[in-house]
Structures are given as structure tokens and as C-alpha cells.
Amino acid sequence: MNAKLNQTEEFFVDKIAENMSTYGVSTTVGRVLGIIYMNRKPMTLNELSEATGMSKTRMSQAVREMLELNIAEKVFEKGVRRDLYNVEQDYYQTFVSLFTSNWQKAINKNKLFEKKVKAELLLLLEQETLSADDEQKVNDLLKEAKEWVEYYQWLARLVEFFESGEIFNHVPKT
Amino acid sequence: MNAKLNQTEEFFVDKIAENMSTYGVSTTVGRVLGIIYMNRKPMTLNELSEATGMSKTRMSQAVREMLELNIAEKVFEKGVRRDLYNVEQDYYQTFVSLFTSNWQKAINKNKLFEKKVKAELLLLLEQETLSADDEQKVNDLLKEAKEWVEYYQWLARLVEFFESGEIFNHVPKT
DNA sequence: CAGTTTGTAAACTTTTTATTTCACAAAGTT
DNA sequence: AACTTTGTGAAATAAAAAGTTTACAAACTG
């Protein structure tokens, strides 16, 4: 293939990787996504290793990360022994996948928080003799916890708003 | 102040920091934000240094990063010589600020990309004698560039959708 | 003006993350 | 069954990021 053409293709890969890094995804993962994307068809670890110049182990790690983020999938092709990996060909869908898996993780981690804090604070109000100031503080924190929960519920609705594709009704693709 | 109360407050700070890290912001920056947030009023570098147990220089760095991200601001108070820093007290607004400054950066970096690629590819079509395959490839890449641009335009509209607060009309706070 | 305090740049150290090398089990081949 | 290939742990190394110490200019104080 023409050298300049090749260079332009690499330019695309770099841009895709750069875009990905906005999500906090490592540039290696970004480049792997870009490479598979530009390749237009699934690739093996060996091919990826060849294309990136990195070790196969690293490719294995990168690909697993992408599977977890829902931006790549393992595909089967009869007659091919090696694992094949493919990526979403739609930019928008990739955005949505990263956005949702990122925030869903945060939302899950937060689930127990409310209960813990509330329980602890209520116990404090009951069991201990608090100064007026401290009692005020407890009430402030309870209010804070409530706001916090509401905020996380909002985040959950936001994730759903993206995941369901509703976002595209309000911010249309073209 | 009551020890358990203090502990609960720290628990909040940690949660805020955790939430922040979902944006790829370092945990130190996250903790600083959490600390100022829970403090309910502006703080100095010295106070932050005291509160985090970290050096003042690190606080200076963290605070500067926060200013750049639009999640903190320098405030002036007469009679106080030291710089005071405050943070947004609204979770939603902080989300929006981080989201927009994050993606705005990516959008800006992308601006030149389209032109460069298009120019290069068109030049290639004109100046060089390409194989049929290569010519096809050039056209594919031109199409890709177009889609890329459209995607970034969508991102820009998305940022605007958040920044303007329009998002809250469709994913309401309560 | 001599002496402090404040914020931050520069150089250094520590910690964390990314990546490779080596090893090996599981599956496939002959 | 002996031999290969494949994917991935585990340990080691390299690279990057986070954080500290030192130093110093600029702004304040008395």
C-alpha cells in the first residue's frame, strides 16, 4: 500500500486513541481499538502484537480490558483457531458504551454508601450525648447524604438516558 | 468534634474523591475538592496541606488543576492575605463542569484533524498514480473523515446540551 | 529597608502503572 | 503419544505519575 496512505491511516488510529484517552482509557487500549476499527474486521492477538509492536501478553491484557468495557467482543470463525476480537464500528455507540460502563461502575460502588452513613449517623443521634453543635452537624450530614443519593439516582437516570439511545432524540446524530 | 462524626465526614470526602476519579482526575485533586466542599467555605493552601497531610506545593498543583477544570475558583476576602479557594457546592454543576471541560479539550484538539487529512488525501488523489485498490482506500478514508467530523460535531452539540443545562429538562434533578 | 510570608518552579524521590520476559497449562495437530 | 500453538498468570523491568524538598521571586509587615 502507498506509504502516505498508510500514514494517514495511522493518523486516524492515533486520533481514535486520543479520543479514547479522554475516558481515562490507556493509550495502548485506544490504539488497539483504533487498529481493529481501521482494519474493518476482527483481529487476533498475534496480528495486534504485530500491528502495535507490543508483546502478545500486553495485547491479551488490552483486549480483556476492552471486553470489560464493552467496546470489543470475541468472535468465532470456523476454521480459525486463534481468538478473534472485533470492535464496534459506530463511534456513537462506542461513546455510549464507555460512558455507561464508566458511570455504572461508579454508581454500583456507591450503593452501600447511603445505608452505611445513614445507619451510622442515626446510631450516633440515639446512643451518644452530643453537643448542640455536633447534633446540628449530624443533621447536616443526613441532609447531605440525602442529596448525595438523589445525585446518584440522577446519574443512574442519565446512564439510562444514554444507554437507551434516548439521548439521540435530543442531540441528533446529524 | 465527635470522633465518629469526623469519620463520617471523611467518608464523604472519600466518596467524592472516588466519584471524581471516574473522570480521570487524580484522587488527590478529588480529596481536595471533597475537603473544601465539606468545609462549606473557602480554604487556603496551608489549611489544605494540613487537612490532607500533603505538602503545600502539592496543594498548589492540585488547586491549579482544579482551576483549569473549572471546578474551583480563587476568592478574595479582605483582610486575608493568603489565597482562598472555593468549590462549587452543587454536585450536578460539578459534573457538568468536568464533563464539558474534559470533552471540550478533546474537541479542540480535533479541529485541525479534518483539514489535514482531507488535504493530504486529495493531494494523493491528484498527484500520485494509485492502484485501483489504493484509490478505493483513499475514498474510504475520505468517507471516514467525514463521519469523524460529524461525530465531533455531535460531541460539540452534546457538550452544549450539558453546558446550557438543557440536559436537566430531559433528565430532571428530582 | 531588613525581615516574613506566600505561592510556585525545578530537581529530586517515591509510588504506581505499563510493559516485557519467562513459564506453563490447555487445546490442537500429526 | 510426542510435538506445537495459544492465551494468560507471575515476576521482573521500564516508564510515567504523584509527591516532596529546596530555592527563590514577589508581595507584605513593621
pLDDT of residue A93: 96
DSSP conformational letter for B78: T
Are B110 and B152 in contact by the 8 Å Cβ rule? The answer is yes
* Percent of the residues in chain B that have a pLDDT greater than 70, as a whole number: 100
**Is the minimum distance from the CB of A50 to strand D below 7 Å?**
no
Which pLDDT score, from 0 to 100, does residue A112 have?
A: 86
Say whether pLDDT at A130 is over 90.
Answer: no
* Partner residue facing B102 (CB), from A22, A121, A141: A22
Residues of B in contact with A148 (CB under 8 A): 12, 15, 91
C-alpha distances in angstroms, A127 versus A122, A123, A131, A135?
A: 9, 6, 13, 12
For an interface test with A, the pick among B16, B22, B29, B173 (most A C-beta atoms closer than 10 Å) comes out as: B22
- Band (pLDDT 50/70/90 cuts) for residue A127 is confident
pLDDT of amino acid A79? 86
Check pLDDT > 80 for residue B56. Answer: yes
Query: What average pLDDT score do residues B91-120 get?
Result: 92
Question: How many other CB atoms sit within 10 Å of the CB of residue A169?
Answer: 10
B83 C-beta less than 7 Å away from strand D: no
pLDDT for B152 beyond 90: yes
CA distance A4 to A53: 20
CB-strand contact B46/C, under 7 Å: yes
Question: How far is it, in rounded angstroms, from Cα B38 to Cα A128?
Answer: 23
**What is the per-residue pLDDT across A35-89, written as a single tens digit (0 to 9) for each?**
999 999 999 999 999 999 999 999 999 999 999 999 999 999 888 889 999 999 9
Range B93-117 average pLDDT: 92
Does at least one atom of strand D sit less than 7 Å from the CB of A46?
Answer: yes
pLDDT above 80: residue B54: yes
Highest average pLDDT, of A44-58, A126-140, B74-88, comes from A44-58
Chain A and chain B share a number of CB contacts under 8 A equal to 118
**How many angstroms is C1' of D29 away from CA of B79?**
13
B171, closest residue in chain A (CA to CA): A158
User: How many Å apart are A142 CA and C3 C1'?
Assistant: 49
Contact B106 A18 (CB under 8 A): yes
Range from A50-59, B105-114, B162-171 carrying the lowest mean pLDDT: B105-114
Which pLDDT belongs to residue B32? Answer: 98
Residue nearest to nucleotide C20 (CA to C1'): A55
> For residue A129, what pLDDT band results from cuts at 50, 70 and 90?
confident
All 3 cell numbers of residue B103? 470533552
pLDDT-based confidence at residue A131 (cuts at 50, 70, 90): confident
Is B8 in contact with A113 (Cβ distance < 8 A)? no
Task: Say yes or no to pLDDT of A152 above 90.
Answer: yes
- Pairing between strand B72-75 and B84-87? antiparallel
User: Which residue has 478473534 as its cell numbers?
Assistant: A84
Mention the CATH class of domain A3-87. Answer: mainly alpha
Helix axes B3-21, A91-127, angle to 10 degrees: 180
Note whether A59 and A45 are within 8 A (CB): yes
Average pLDDT (B60-84) is: 94
Rounded distance between C-alpha atoms, residue A47 and residue A42, angstroms? 10
Beta strands in chain A (DSSP E): 72-75, 84-87
Q: How far apart are CA B131 and CA A51, in angstroms?
A: 23
Give me the pLDDT at residue A24, please.
87
Per DSSP, the residues of B95-145 read: HHHHHHHHHHHHHHHHHHHHHHHHHHHHHHHHHS---HHHHHHHHHHHHHH
Q: What is the DSSP letter of A132?
A: H
Model pLDDT, residue A75: 96
**Residue B53 — φ and ψ, nearest 5°?**
75, 15
A149 burial level (CB within 10 Å; 0-12, 13-18, 19+): middle
Q: Is the predicted pLDDT of residue A1 greater than 80, yes or no?
A: no
Q: Is the CB of B65 under 7 A from strand C?
A: no
User: A104-121: per-residue pLDDT in tens?
Assistant: 999 998 888 888 999 999
| pTM summary value | 0.92
Q: Is the pLDDT of residue B1 over 80?
A: no
**8 A C-beta contact, residue A21 and residue A8:** no
Neighbours of B123 (CB within 10 A): 11
pLDDT digits (tens, 9 = 90+) for B3-28: 889 999 999 999 999 999 998 899 99
Q: Do A22 and B130 touch (CB under 8 A)?
A: no
Q: Answer yes or no: are the C-beta atoms of B74 and B84 closer than 8 Å.
A: yes
C-alpha–C-alpha distance, residues B16 and B91, integer Å: 10
Which chain D positions have some atom within 7 A of a protein CB? 5-10, 17-23, 28-29
Between strands A84-87 and B72-75, the pairing is unpaired
Q: CB distance A4–B103 less than 8 Å?
A: no
* Segment A70-74 long-range contacts (CB within 8 Å, at least 24 positions apart): A70/A97, A70/A100, A70/A101, A71/A33, A71/A97, A71/A98, A72/A33, A72/A36
How large is the average pLDDT for residues B136-148?
A: 94
Q: Domain boundaries in chain B?
A: 3-87, 91-170
pLDDT in the model for residue B8 = 93
| CB contact at 8 A, A29 and B161 | no
State whether the beta carbon of A21 lies below 7 angstroms from any atom of strand C: no
Out of B5, B116, B173, the one facing A154 most closely (by C-beta) is B173
Is A91's CB within 8 Å of B147's CB? yes
Of the candidates B100, B120, B101, which has an alpha carbon nearest to the alpha carbon of residue B166? B100
